[in-house]
Amino acid sequence: MPGVLTARVEAVLGAWEAGTFVTRRVEAVEVDFGGIPGDRHYGLTRPAGSREPMYPRGTEIRNRRQLSAVSAEECAEIADLLGLEAVLPEWLGANLLLSGLPGLTRLPAGARLLFPSGAGLVCEGENIPCRHPGEVIAAQYPLHPERHRLPRAFVRAAMGRRGIVLSVERPGRIARGDSVRIVLPPGTRVDPRPA
């Protein structure tokens, strides 16, 4: 029997505004096989980009990044490392903020997040940090003495703490307050909880 962990959905978010990855909070979403309808990352396929250098840029590939999730605990760690009051999931472009799983980013590919509605998401791996959220964070702290260094500092601070990307395995509703069962792949030896 695979290991099972639990977490709670603290926030559900989507990027519905053109030209930005910054998300906004809603009470619930209905996910389908393409992700969150209207969200920036919605779709069964997407063009390859800098994260897939094995394909020519723009090549149509399966969308393994339909949603992203971060943990409240890891966001707090990033904020502490940067000397900030907070790092909000909106600024990271996250679709889900979970609590109760401080090692969310260490979940192995293939872990399944199961929701009360029957919705199921599959972890596709770590969401590798880049400068763009760091630029958004820097804009939120205009008086920070090291504001100009925050984009690069974010990349270092968020490595191993940036959360995960997910694809939809089973459509359904995901709502704030939902309890989430995380089923680890058989043979998983890495415990995603902190030591």
Q: Could you report the per-residue pLDDT of 152-191, keeping only the tens digit for each? A: 999 999 999 999 999 999 999 999 999 999 999 988 865 5
The answer to whether 31 and 68 have CB atoms below 8 angstroms apart is no
Q: What percent of the chain has pLDDT over 70?
A: 95
The per-residue pLDDT for 179 is 98
Whole-number Å distance between alpha carbons of 7 and 182: 8
Residue 43 is classified by DSSP as: S
Whole-number Å distance between alpha carbons of 163 and 102: 10
Position 23: which residue type?
Answer: T
Q: Using one digit for the tens of pLDDT, what is the confidence trace for 67-97?
A: 999 999 999 999 999 999 999 999 999 999 9
Domains, the chain: 4-183 (2.40.33.20)
Whole-number Å distance between alpha carbons of 123 and 103: 13
